[in-house]
Chain A
């Protein structure tokens, strides 16, 4: 189950559509688990890793994944080879993912873009690595054509995520 937690106000229609896309992408249920306020002491642009760490978890089962959605900007992340533009964050095989819709002016019109980034971060929580196929949501999300792409996993990533999800359930 994917439990979606909103950190800012969103039109329920957007949330509903996002849940449907995620359900289709992963084949597991997705529901809106409610709103949460942003933790005190952190400011926009947020450090995605710190923000995710500070957010409390809603009630969930062991194999559930929690996806936090915010409209706030996230700071580029510093890694050894430079600065990574940041639209979301999740630890590999972790239980929680964060995604920002800050790059989208109208969430209803830009739902596909938000969903694609959400698929990417959730993909990491199911142990997917970055993909070679630019059409796939697991392609590095800072690349040029990424935002215009579809809510799509290529065969490799889809099969791998299905396996991981099955394995996590058993």
Chain B
């Protein structure tokens, strides 16, 4: 957000955030001759796995590269996390679009908004697979950046977030669809055009398929007959809108996920808009194995 709007001067050793990819450290800033032109390239190494990315300096801003969040950003994020629940949009298409923007342009706060928004939504109904993956990606990026910003271990960063989101000694709240409706105000909102397809398959469900998939997830997540009983009990308490979906026959146990995505980073990529692709990127499709 504010960070990307400012000019970004990068030097070796700087820690930056590559949207949807994570925390990187600048390893070199050098000029190179390319087709008779002198271009400056910034080379970065992703901290979690050492994957290398090279970006022309002129593209740094359009990619949304930014410095790791500072103390003030972190404080803002924690007061947001502590604030009264942020109700996600019940229209999954609008929610998807907002979340893609938050992930790529929202800075640290955008990541926190995705995490909290989807958490609160999950207290109403189970998240469909794609959103569950998005939740984990956002959480992963949020935790990594917080850890980098605060100079603490990732587990400490994650626990500090969850101490706020899941307070000790408290049960998970149960939400009603009404809470979300009143928070959203104008429910119908605007109609979305075909540009949704730009999400690169991140949200490739038919609109009416979403509640069904959520239901399928709920069924799928049930391990043993005993737990199944418990889950059923919960399903009984669902809001009217949900009941309709629950009444529909659950889709057959979705054969795992699309080609069991090989890497979390690969999973983060589809959400990225084509325009954000770096001109020269040495990141292997599968980032190198850690350590």
Contact residues of A with B, CB < 8 Å? Answer: 49, 77, 79-82, 84-85, 89-93, 124, 127, 129-130, 132-136, 139-140, 142-145, 150, 152, 154-156, 159-160, 163, 167-168
Contact with A along B130-161 (1 / 0, CB 8 A): 00110110011001000000101111111111
For residue B262, CB closer than 8 A to chain A, the reply is yes
Known: A82-B163, A92-B154, A145-B172. A152 touches B140 (CB 8 A): no
Query: Is the pair B155, A152 in contact by a Cβ cutoff of 8 Å?
Result: no
Whole-angstrom distance between the Cβ of A157 and the nearest chain B Cβ: 9
* Number of A-B residue pairs with CB-CB distance less than 8 Å in the complex they form: 112
Query: Which residues on the A side are within 8 Å of B139 (C-beta)?
Result: 129-130
A91 contacts B163, CB within 8 Å?
no
In B105-135, the 8 Å CB interface with A consists of: 118-119, 122, 126-127, 129, 132-133, 135
User: How far is the CB of A52 from the nearest CB of chain B, in Å?
Assistant: 11
Residues of B within 8 A of A145 (CB): 171-172
B binding-site residues for A, Cβ under 8 Å: 48, 74, 78, 118-119, 122, 126-127, 129, 132-133, 135-136, 139-140, 143, 150, 152-164, 166-172, 217, 220-221, 223-224, 226-227, 230-231, 256-257, 260-264, 289-290
What DSSP secondary structure best describes chain A's contact surface? loop
Given contacts A79-B156, A80-B150, contact A144 B171 (CB under 8 A): yes
Contact between A93 and B290, CB atoms less than 8 A apart: yes
Residues of A within 8 A of B262 (CB): 163, 167
Q: What is the minimal beta-carbon distance from A134 to any residue of chain B, in angstroms?
A: 5
Instruction: Check A79 against B217 for contact (C-beta < 8 Å).
Output: no
B156 cross-chain contacts in A, Cβ below 8 A:
77, 79-80
Is B227's CB under 8 angstroms from A130's CB? no
Task: Assess whether B78 is in contact with A129, with CB atoms less than 8 Å apart.
Answer: no
Contact sample, A vs B, 10 pairs, CB 8 Å cutoff = A79-B159, A79-B163, A80-B78, A80-B152, A84-B163, A132-B118, A132-B119, A134-B172, A150-B223, A152-B227
Interface of B is mostly: helix
Least CB distance, A142 to chain B, in whole angstroms: 4
Q: In the complex the two chains form, what is the Cα distance from A135 to B227 in whole Å? A: 8
Are A154 and B260 also in contact (CB < 8 A) when A92-B155, A132-B135 are?
Answer: no
Query: Is B289's CB under 8 angstroms from A79's CB?
Result: no
Please tell me if the beta carbons of B224 and A143 are within 8 angstroms of each other in the complex. no
Residues B132 and A143 in contact, CB atoms below 8 Å apart: no
Q: How many Å lie between the Cα of A85 and that of B164 in the bound state?
A: 13
Bound-state Cα–Cα, A92 to B262, Å: 19
Q: Which residues of chain B are near A90, meaning CB under 8 Å?
A: 155
Whether B160 contacts A81 by the Cβ 8 Å rule is yes
Contact A156 B227 (CB under 8 A): no
Whether the Cβ atoms of B221 and A154 lie closer than 8 Å is yes
CB–CB B136/A156 < 8 A: yes
Residues of A within 8 A of B160 (CB): 79-82, 84
For B132, list chain A residues within 8 Å (CB). 132, 156
CB distance from A89 to the nearest CB of B (A): 7
| B194 CB, nearest partner CB in chain A, Å | 30
Contact B136 A160 (CB under 8 A): yes
Q: Which of A92, A134, A160 contacts B153 (CB 8 A)?
A: A92
Complex CA distance for A150 and B221, rounded to whole angstroms: 13
Among A85, A132, A136, A140, max chain B CB count under 10 A is at A132
Neighbouring A residues of B129 by C-beta, 8 Å: 156
Q: Contact at B163–A81, with CB atoms within 8 Å?
A: yes
Roughly how many angstroms separate A159 CA and B224 CA in the complex, as a whole number? 17
Instruction: Give Cα A134 to B162, complex, Å.
Output: 13
Q: Tell me if A91 and B153 are in contact (CB < 8 A).
A: yes
Please state if A81 and B161 are interface contacts (CB–CB under 8 Å). yes
Q: Which B residue sits closest to A135, measured CB to CB? A: B227
Least CB distance from B75 to A in Å reads 9
